[in-house]
Amino acid sequence: MKKIFLYLSTVLTLGLTSCEEVIEYELRTADTKLVVEGLITNQPGPYQVRLSTTKGYLDQGRTPGVNGALVIVSDNRGIADTLQQVSEGLYQTSKLQGQPGNTYYLRAVVDGKEYTAQSFMPAVSPIDSLTFVYKQSSNENDNGYHPYLHFSDPAGKGNYYRWNVFVNGKLDPDELAIFNDELYDGKSGSVDMQFGLKEGDRIKVELYSLNKPGYEFWLALANQQNASGGPFETTPANAPSNISGGAIGFFGASAVSVAEGVAK
């Protein structure tokens, strides 16, 4: 009799535990869409616009570039630049020079369909300095020299930022961070970039200014990076594009401030 209870309680415990199983699940592949990745900065040109298309989620391989498109970028001062294709899906400006305070317009014609976008370039405050503090972190991968970014936010709310991090000359797309000045308006201070470097690592940080639509787009990308698709997470959403005509992606204009340092 005792054994029966033991057996029953074992079965009950097993039965109450949730399990995972690999299954076949058929996904419709959505209609292929044009993807626009374009950025005008205040750094010396040329600037690039990349056109590609989406792929099925479970399909293998890289997404294909779009060739032979007409791509024109112009600004609110009347300068128009027809971009030259330099490699698969990649188009480059020849005379445009980005400047904070200007608005930039994109016009792309792909297979007779027209796509347009516009973006205002906000100014960015220059990075004062980059310092390092050795830290132990709860996540072992983040142990090491944490870079701290020192800069001042200009007075007035509505400043949006993102950064790109290059470690030893290579872009690290996982260290994408998006933030605003909602809490720090007008202050100067430092931000822990929250990842660890080894001693002697060279790091380059690019701080980009964003307008509000840009902030929302990048924030959605950052959230998608952090989502794992578990059962208790919020419903995922697509990043809001600023391209009209049914394309996805973003055409942005950002002022950039750059700082470099060696972890020690």
Partner 1 sequence: MPGINNGNPYPLRHDRRHSGNLVLSYQFSPSINFGASWTYATGGAITMPVGRYEYNGKTYPVYSERNGYRLPDYHRLDLSATYEKPKSEFKKYSSSWNLSLYNAYARKNAFSIYFRESEDDRNKTEAVKTYLFGIIPALTYNFNF
Can you tell me the distance from the alpha carbon of 40 to that of 177, in angstroms, rounded to the nearest whole number?
19
Q: Residue 174 CB, nearest distance to partner 1 (Å)? A: 8
Residue with smaller CB distance to partner 1, 145 or 219: 219
Can you tell me the distance from the alpha carbon of 112 to that of 70, in angstroms, rounded to the nearest whole number?
10
> In 148-185, which positions are buried (b, 16+ CB within 10 angstroms) versus exposed (e)?
bbebebeeeeebbbbbbbbbeeeeeeebbbbbbbeeee
- Give the CA distances from residue 87 to residues 81, 92, 184, in Å, rounded to whole numbers and listed in that order: 18, 9, 42
The DSSP output letter for 186 is T
Residue with smaller CB distance to partner 1, 92 or 143: 92
Residue with smaller CB distance to partner 1, 167 or 239: 239
Question: 59, 30 in Cβ contact below 8 A?
Answer: no
Can you tell me the distance from the alpha carbon of 110 to that of 68, in angstroms, rounded to the nearest whole number?
8
Q: Residue 228 CB, nearest distance to partner 1 (Å)? A: 7
User: DSSP secondary structure string, 83-109?
Assistant: PEEEETTEEE-SS----TT-EEEEEEE
Q: Residue 82 CB, nearest distance to partner 1 (Å)? A: 24
Q: Residue 76 CB, nearest distance to partner 1 (Å)? A: 26
Q: Residue 135 CB, nearest distance to partner 1 (Å)? A: 26
Other beta carbons within 10 Å of 216: 16
Q: Residue 56 CB, nearest distance to partner 1 (Å)? A: 6
Residue with smaller CB distance to partner 1, 154 or 236: 236
Residues at the site binding partner 1, with contacts judged by CB under 8 A: 8, 11-12, 14-16, 18-25, 27-30, 32-33, 35, 37, 52-58, 60, 62-63, 164, 171, 173-174, 176, 221, 224-225, 228-231, 235-239, 248-250
Residue with smaller CB distance to partner 1, 56 or 189: 56
Residue with smaller CB distance to partner 1, 32 or 76: 32
